[in-house]
């Protein structure tokens, strides 16, 4: 590795680690867990996926989307059931990768991807507003002014420093500069230590202490499956985004296997489950992180914070981290999607808006699933409308229909409407040279058409069927 690349990855990893800590603590608290569980999970998952995953430069950790999924489980059954769920969720992820299902991410339409990115950008920004509260009350007066001033200073450094030098990541300089200013000037603002004390020891191996019975499996299996699906979905979409930014290709199946293995290790060592984190990935990439080393450094630094550096890390002002995350939100949002809204088809515009809104108000999995369904239904509708037929009366008095398009469930009605059995002559020929049969609905439509002509005492002859169509008909017994 070249010295310049090594230096860039080291600094990017260090910068990313600062942004990982508050997020992981916050997500652990959301899930009613000890903050150290979030930090242990981030260390293990970030390090292992960086070492063995299929997308260098992408950062994984204890993610909020997965924390939300398991809140009810922790409240009802306790931490040990959570750890067992993380283990089982990891197994599901590994199987997903081994079965090479990661390629399914290619079926996510670009409008859904834009909605996903925009929705997460809004969520990242909204999550920072919690730091403008003291308990349940919003900050006001001098504390609010100080918080806003430090956030603005942080953002200014991140935006302006690259105009002077690109030797160091601007986010790292901003965090350290604002932190040093707060310390030297003794400014009364909230710090990372106000969220939680992060000092601790090494994570220790211990299988979950619970009865390994069918009843336990019945309790944890639904949560494990949902956690795995949400984690895989966010990881694969973030991998797509990383591919676009770096103009290189990742390996989704390998990433799924590595993520699953990392979750299993995390569950065995008392950590939370996790997946790719788009905000921290954007920080890593914008700070120059491209190789595996950047993710390894970010993960190892979290462990060092816990073991040795907690007194220093807890002094970092939350305003500095909030400012960095606001910049991340701005950089993550696909602003170009707003400029092209009036240029793209209405259905694509609706998909972008729907996925964005659903992501913000519900959850990522629901948003992407509904987005794919909307896009798929629109595709089926548009494709069905493209079916048409040319009809010609032959010299012998028979009629020839040449149908063009794809015959499937959505185009059955347009297909049948092309024919007029009552008015057609005795002999009718259906030329399928330009017609594709896709599913059983197509076969059923052809059978219905034959029956309609048969009822009127007329004969329908089908010619030029493709080999694929013949196989479909033969399999259906037609």
**Residue 326 token pair:** 């606001």
Q: Is the pLDDT of residue 446 over 80?
A: yes
- Of the candidates 265, 208, 264, 212, the one whose C-alpha atom is nearest the C-alpha of residue 89 is 264
- pTM score, two decimals? 0.81
pLDDT tens-digit profile of 144-186? 999 999 999 999 999 999 998 888 889 999 999 999 999 999 9
Asked whether the predicted pLDDT for residue 475 surpasses 80, the reply is no
DSSP class per residue in 233-268: HHHHHHHHHHHHHHTS---HHHHHHHHHHHHHHHHH
Reported as a pLDDT band with limits 50, 70 and 90, residue 478 is low
Predicted local distance difference test score (pLDDT) of residue 1 = 65
239 or 339, higher pLDDT: 239
Beta strands in 394-458 (DSSP E): 399-407, 427-431, 435-437
For 99, other C-beta atoms within 10 Å of its C-beta total 10
Residue among 476, 186, 159, 163 nearest 317 (CA): 186
Beta strands in 156-311 (DSSP E): 275-276
Question: Taking the alpha carbons of 33, 279, 302, 248 in that order, is the dihedral positive or negative?
Answer: positive
Distance CA 352, CA 114 (A): 6
Q: What is the arithmetic mean of pLDDT over 415-419?
A: 93
DSSP letter assigned to residue 391: E
Mean pLDDT of the chain: 89
Instruction: Give per-residue pLDDT as tens, 276-288.
Output: 998 899 999 998 9
With a cut of 90, say whether residue 401 has pLDDT above it: yes
Which residues, 6+ apart, have CB-to-CB distance to 64 below 8 Å? 23, 26, 27, 30, 123, 127
User: Cα(299)–Cα(284) distance, rounded to whole angstroms?
Assistant: 12
Q: Answer whether 298's CB lies under 8 Å from 254's CB.
A: no
d(CA 17, CA 14): 5
The terminus-to-terminus CA distance of the chain in angstroms comes to 63
Strand, coil or helix: what is 431?
strand
pLDDT beyond 70 at 255: yes
DSSP 24-46: HHHHHHHTT--HHHHHHHHHHHH
- Domains, in order of start, for the chain: 3-334 (no CATH), 386-475 (3.30.750.24)
The DSSP symbol for 422 reads T
Closest of 3, 4, 5 to residue 292, by C-alpha: 5
Q: What is the pLDDT of residues 339-381, one digit of tens each?
A: 877 888 888 888 899 999 998 888 777 888 888 888 888 888 8
**Per-residue pLDDT tens for 51-78?**
999 999 999 998 877 777 788 888 899 8
């Amino acid at each position: 590795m070249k010295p310049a690349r090594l230096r860039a990855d080291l600094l990017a990893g260090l910068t990313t680690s600062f942004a990982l800590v508050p997020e992981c603590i916050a997500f652990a608290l959301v899930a009613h867990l000890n903050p150290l569980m979030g930090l242990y999970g981030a260390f293990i998952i970030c390090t292992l996926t960086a070492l063995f995953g299929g997308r260098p430069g992408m950062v994984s950790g204890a993610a909020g989307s997965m924390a939300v999924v398991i809140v009810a489980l922790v409240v009802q059954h306790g931490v040990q059931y959570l750890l067992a769920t993380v283990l089982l969720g990891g197994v599901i992820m590994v199987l997903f990768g081994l079965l090479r299902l990661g390629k399914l991410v290619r079926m996510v339409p670009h409008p859904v991807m834009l909605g996903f990115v925009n929705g997460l950008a809004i969520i990242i920004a909204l999550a920072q507003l919690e730091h403008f509260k003291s308990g349940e009350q919003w900050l006001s007066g001098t504390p609010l002014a100080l918080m806003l001033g430090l956030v603005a200073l942080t953002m200014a450094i991140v935006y302006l420093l690259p105009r002077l030098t690109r030797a160091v990541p601007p986010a790292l300089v901003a965090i350290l500069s604002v932190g040093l200013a707060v310390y030297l000037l003794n400014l009364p603002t909230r710090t990372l230590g106000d969220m939680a004390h992060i000092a601790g020891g090494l994570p220790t191996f211990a299988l979950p202490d619970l009865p390994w019975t069918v009843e336990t499996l019945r309790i944890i299996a639904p949560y494990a499956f949902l956690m795995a699906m949400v984690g895989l979905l966010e990881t694969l979409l973030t991998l797509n985004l990383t591919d676009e930014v770096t103009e290189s290709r990742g390996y989704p199946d390998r990433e799924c296997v590595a993520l699953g293995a990392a979750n299993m290790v995390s569950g065995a060592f008392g950590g939370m489950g996790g997946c790719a984190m788009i905000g921290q990935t954007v920080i890593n990439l914008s700070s120059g992180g491209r190789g595996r080393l950047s993710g390894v450094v970010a993960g190892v630094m979290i462990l060092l914070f816990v073991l040795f550096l907690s007194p220093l890390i807890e002094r970092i002002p939350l305003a500095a981290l909030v400012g960095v995350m606001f910049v991340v939100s701005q950089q993550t949002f696909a602003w170009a999607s707003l400029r092209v809204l009036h240029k793209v088809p209405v259905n694509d515009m609706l998909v972008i808006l729907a996925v964005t809104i659903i992501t913000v108000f519900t959850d990522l999995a629901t948003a992407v699933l509904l987005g794919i369904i909307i896009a798929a239904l629109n595709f089926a509708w548009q494709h069905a409308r493209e079916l048409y037929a040319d009809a010609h009366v032959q010299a012998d008095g028979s009629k020839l229909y040449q149908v063009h398009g794809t015959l499937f469930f959505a185009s059955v009605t347009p297909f049948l409407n092309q024919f007029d059995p009552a008015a057609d002559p005795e002999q009718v020929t259906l030329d399928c040279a330009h017609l594709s049969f896709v599913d059983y609905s197509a076969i059923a439509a052809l059978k219905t058409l034959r029956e309609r002509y048969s009822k009127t005492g007329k004969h329908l002859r089908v010619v030029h069927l493709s080999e694929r169509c013949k196989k479909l008909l033969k399999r259906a017994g037609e």
